[in-house]
Structure 1
Amino acid sequence: MPGRKPSINDVARIAGVSYQTVSRVINSAPDVSPATRARIQQIIADVGYHRNRAAAALVTNRSTSIGIVTDGSPRFGPVGTLLSLESVIRERGYTATVVAVNEPYDESVQDAFDTLDELGVDGIIIIAPRLSMASAVVAASVRVPVEMIAAGASGTSNIVTYSENQELGARMATQHLIDLGHTDIAHIAGSMEWFDARVRKRGWESALRDAGLAPGLCVEGDWSPKWAYETGLRLIEEGRVPRAIFAVSDHTALGLIRAFAENGVRVPEDVSIVGFDDVEGSDYFLPPLTTVRQDFPALARATIDVLLSAVEGHAAHRAPSAPTLVVRNSAIRAR
C-alpha cells in the first residue's frame, strides 16, 4: 500500500475476511471468534491502520467524541480526574474535547454545553468540584447525556452523578487515628464550597461519632499549604495544638508539618497527622505522610461506563470507587 494510508478494506483483504467482520472487531462487537479477532487486531497493528472517525460518524450518526467540562482548577483532585478521563476515553476508542469554564458559571456552563453540542459529542462529563458550578450544570440545558463528577452530589432526571467514595476515605483516615488510641482528633478542612471538603468533613465526623467521640476542633480554609502553615502557627500561639489531625489534603498536611517543625512541635511524637490524596512526593515528606490514595484510573473507567450506558439508553448502576489508606510514618500510637 505504498503512497497511501491503509484502509479497512486492506485489512479485510489481508485477513481474508469481510469488511463487516473487520468493522465488528474495530467496534468491539461480541460476534467474532477470539482467534479471528486476535488475527485482525495484529494485522491492524502491522499495517498501521487507523480508523477514519469522520467516516464512522457519517455511517453511525455518532461522533465517537465525548465532551469534558472542567473549571480549570489546578487542585490535585480535578487535575488527576481530567488526565485519567482523557486517557480512558482514548482507550475506549473515543476522542475527548475539553472545555474550561469560569465564573459566573451560569453563563460559561451553558456556553460550554452549546459549544460541545455544535461539535456533535455523544455525551458530556462535567468535573464539578464546587457547589456553584454544579448548580449551573443542573440549570443548563443540553440535548445529549450528561454525567457530573461531584462527591456526594445527587443526580437529577437529566443528569447522572458519579464519584469516588471520599467520605469513606475520610472515615478510614480518622479511624486509623482512633485505632492508634487518639481521642483528640482535629480536622483541618477545606472550603465548604467544595464537594470534596464537605464529604471529607462528614467522614471525619461520622467516624468519631461511631467511636463514641465528639468531633473536636475543625478549622475551614482554602486547601493551600500557605493557609495551613498560617493555621498551624496560630494553633501553636493559642496553645490549641491537638494530639492528632486529619488534614483535608496532603498539601494542607505539608503546611501544618512545616509550621510545627519550625516551632519544635514534633510529628508524629507530639501530634499525629493523616492526609488525603497521596500526592506525588508525599512519601518523601518529613516524616513520610500517612494518607488516603485516590484511584483516578478506576474513577475514570467507571465514569466512562456510566456515561456510555446513558448514551446507549440504559442505566448503569456502579458503586462509588473506593480509596485506599496508605500507612507511613506521620501517625503513631497515642501516648
Structure 2
Amino acid sequence: MTNALDSYRLLGRSGLRVSPMSLGTMTFGTDWGWGSDKEESRRIFDAYLERGGNFIDTASMYTNGTSERFIGEFAEGRRERLVIATKYTMNRRADDPNAGGNHRKSMVQSVEASLRNLNTDYLDLLYLHAWDFTTPVEEIMRAMDDLVRAGKVLYVAISDAPAWQVARMQTIADLRGWSPLIALQIEYSLVERTVERDLIPMAAELGLGVIPWSPLASGVLTGKYTRADLDHSADASPEGSRKNVAAANGSLHERALDIADVVKDVAAEIGVAPAQVALAWTLTNPAVTAPIIGARTLGQLESNLGALDVTFTDAQLETLNKASEVDLGFPHEFLQRPMTRGVVFGSTTLARG
C-alpha cells in the first residue's frame, strides 16, 4: 500500500465514502498567528486531492472564517468530488448571546454563513462542534433534520459531547425517523485514550464513524517539545503559537512527553517519523474511520500521509499500548473481573461472533 488515500472507507452506518485520512484545515490562514498563508494552503489542498483524498474538515470560525473561504476558492471546479465537513457552535459575534451555541438559531445562521464562505449550495457533513449543556437534544436533532430535508446538509454528525447525550440523540433520531448521526469527532491519540471508556464503544455500537482530532496531541507526539517546554502558561486561546494551543489543550505535560519518547523509540526501530507512528496507531482501532491530519507545510502533509504505509509488529503495538494505557474505570474494570464474570456466566463458555 502506498499512501492509499483513495482506498476509501464508509463513514459510520452510511454509504458515504471518505479517505482514510481527513485533511484538517484549522491551519489554513494566518489569522491566529501560526497557520499557513494562502499559497501554501493551496499547495497542501491540491496535493491532498492529487493523492486521491476527498475528506476535508473545517469549522465555521477556524481562523476567523478564512479556512472556509480558502476551501471555497480551492474547491472551485471540483466541488462534487469532495466531502466537505464543517461545524457549527463557535461564537461568531462575542456581544451576541445567540451567535454561538447548539440551538436552532445558531445552527441555521452558522450554516448559512458556511455556505457563503465555502461558495457551495450544500454541506456534505455538518457537525455540532461542542456540547453547550443548555440546548434540548430534540431541538438540535429536529433542526438538523430540517436542514437535511431542505437540501442544505447531506449528513449530520457530532463532536466533543458526552457519550450519554450522543446515545440519547441517536436513539431519538431513530425513533422519530430523523436524520441519524453518522460520525463522532473526538480527541483521540496515544496521549488521550480516555475516550476508549465510553465514547468509542458507543460509536461502534450506534453506527458512528470515529474521526480523531489532534491525533498527534497538538504536535507533542512529533517529538518537537522537551521538558523545557513544560514551563508555560496555558492561554485559553487558539491564537499566538502552536505551543500555546498544545498547552491550552492540556496536551503538553510530563506524561505526554514520556509517551512521545516511546513513540520516538518505535519510530527509530521502524525507520519512520514519530508523527507517522502516532497517526498509524490510531488507525489500528477498528472504530476509527479517518484521523484528521493538520499541516502547515506541504512537507508536513507528505510526511503525515506516510503513516498509511506504517505497520507494527505485535511487540511494537504492545509497547505503544502499554506506555499510553489508561484505567477504564467503573463499570468496565469491574465487569471484567473473574469474580464478576463467574457469577454472571458460571461455568458456561460463550463464543462471541
TM norm structure 2:
0.28
Bigger-Rg structure (1/2): 1
Q: Which has the higher contact order (CA 8 A, sep 6+)?
A: 2
